[in-house]
């Protein structure tokens, strides 16, 4: 299988695996847009890699996703790859008879750093 995108948007691209993937694709000539909740890590990454672009985006907020979709489609019509490397988890007690739906209390998936 061949994977050769022309432009990739990487959610969660400000640190960790997302950052590593963004750098690797950028070094291979792919135009990269990194997205994340915190602007500073995105800015630092883009400053270190000329031509990389950034978008502040929180994937846990529906309005951020809708805004990003509207704006990015216009700004980057050549976007042909999206990597969802960001997310969250919800608390769920499978052992409890009372707990039959997911909790509305989000917990960060990051356990250290960032």
Residues sharing a CB contact under 8 Å with residue 30, sequence separation 6 or more, in sequence order = 5, 6, 7, 8, 81
Mean pLDDT within 22-35: 96
Domains and CATH numbers, the chain: 7-87 (3.40.50.720)
The answer, as to whether pTM is greater than 0.75, is no
In this predicted model, what pLDDT tens digit does every residue of 45-81 receive, in sequence order?
999 999 999 999 888 889 988 888 888 888 888 999 9
Token pair of 82 as six digits = 């999206």
Neighbours of 33 (CB within 10 A): 24
Q: CB under 8 Å, gap of 24 or more: what pairs does 39-48 form?
A: 41/14, 41/15, 41/114, 42/13, 42/14, 45/13, 45/14, 45/19
Q: What is the pLDDT of residue 4?
A: 86
Buried b (16+ CB within 10 A) or exposed e, 44-55: ebbeeeeebbbb
């Amino acid at each position: 299988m061949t994977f050769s995108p022309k432009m990739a948007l990487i959610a969660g691209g400000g640190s960790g695996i997302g950052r590593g993937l963004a750098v690797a694709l950028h070094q291979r000539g792919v135009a990269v847009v990194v997205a994340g909740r915190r602007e500073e890590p995105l800015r630092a990454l883009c400053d270190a890699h000329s031509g990389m672009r950034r978008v502040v985006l929180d994937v846990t907020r529906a309005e951020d996703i809708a805004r990003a979709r509207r704006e990015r489609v216009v700004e980057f019509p050549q976007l042909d790859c999206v990597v969802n490397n960001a997310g969250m988890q919800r608390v769920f007690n499978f052992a409890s008879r009372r707990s039959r739906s997911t909790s509305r209390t989000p917990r960060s998936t990051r356990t250290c750093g960032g």
